[in-house]
Amino acid sequence: MAYLMAVDSGNTHVKWGIHDGNTWIKQGRSNLNQDLLLQQEWKNLPRPHKIIVSNVTDIEAKNKLSKLLSYWEIKPNWVTARTYQCGVKNHYIDPPLLGSDRWAALIAAWNYQQRGCLVIDVGTAMTVDTLSDTGEFLGGIIVPGFKLMKKALTANIISLQNQEGKFSNFPNNTADAIHSGTVHALAGTVKCMSELLSITLGHIPKCIISGGSSQQLLSKLNMDASVVDNLILEGLVLIAKEDSEII
């Protein structure tokens, strides 16, 4: 059996999976700095016939990832956003400059929804991208994610840096105030983009959410929304299939 290795290398983590053309055989996630752990886990996987990668990290991290992937002696396909692919039209001013992670997520969301929607990834940063009813990527925004926003607010307040805080409608301490404000800020960003896209579409869009903080965001959205795990990896499989890179 032929296998595809899909890798999503983000700002903090590397997510990966082995796909057989119909389903995932195995998936995993590691910190970018856990080279030895990744190396050991990948050595125990079935040998892939093709490798496809979304990478949004710096050149040093990319080189490190390339070295790890060289174990299989297969040239990886490093994904770059295109003007059109898998039913999605890219309206970025310079299409290849759209992050490969956002592009793969848009493709997966379109395949999943087939209608105008918001595509949200909540990780180190939160991206909120828009799809039209005809599969056009109209544009999107990027804001700090939960942890990054909290880190910025507590950078010079040592006593608050290790306090998680909890959500409250009316916070009565600083840790809760920062946590609640962060939640409101990100949920409010999504609601604002939903209202803008609603005007363009003529109907209220569904939100498709992925990323490590998906459930935290979902709990504060009073709208039609669902979490799709590993949306970027799903998009990479679709890209590989269309490019006949697989299996």
Give the percent of the chain with pLDDT over 70.
Answer: 98
Higher pLDDT among residues 76 and 159, named by residue: 76
**Which of these, 114, 115, 139, lies nearest to 238 by C-alpha position?**
114
Reply yes or no on whether 58 is catalytic: no
Quote the number of domains for the chain.
2
Please identify which of the residues 8, 58, 94, 101 carries the catalytic annotation.
101
Q: Give pLDDT tens digits for 220-243.
A: 999 999 999 999 999 999 999 998
Q: Give pLDDT tens digits for 135-175.
A: 999 999 999 999 899 888 887 777 676 778 899 999 999 88
**Mean pLDDT taken over the chain:** 92
Burial of 105 (0-12, 13-18, 19+ CB in 10 A): buried
My answer on whether 74 and 135 are in the same domain is: no
Amino acid 246: pLDDT: 46
My answer on whether 214 and 162 are in the same domain is: yes
My answer on whether 62 and 150 are in the same domain is: no
My answer on whether 120 and 74 are in the same domain is: no
Amino acid 35: pLDDT: 79
Q: How far is CA 180 from CA 12, 149, 173, 177, in A?
A: 23, 12, 11, 5
Q: Is residue 48 part of a domain?
A: yes
My answer on whether 224 and 136 are in the same domain is: yes
Residue that terminates a domain, selected from 26, 54, 78: 78
Q: Which domain holds residue 160?
A: 115-229
Q: Is residue 47 part of a domain?
A: yes
CATH of residue 144's domain is: 3.30.420.40
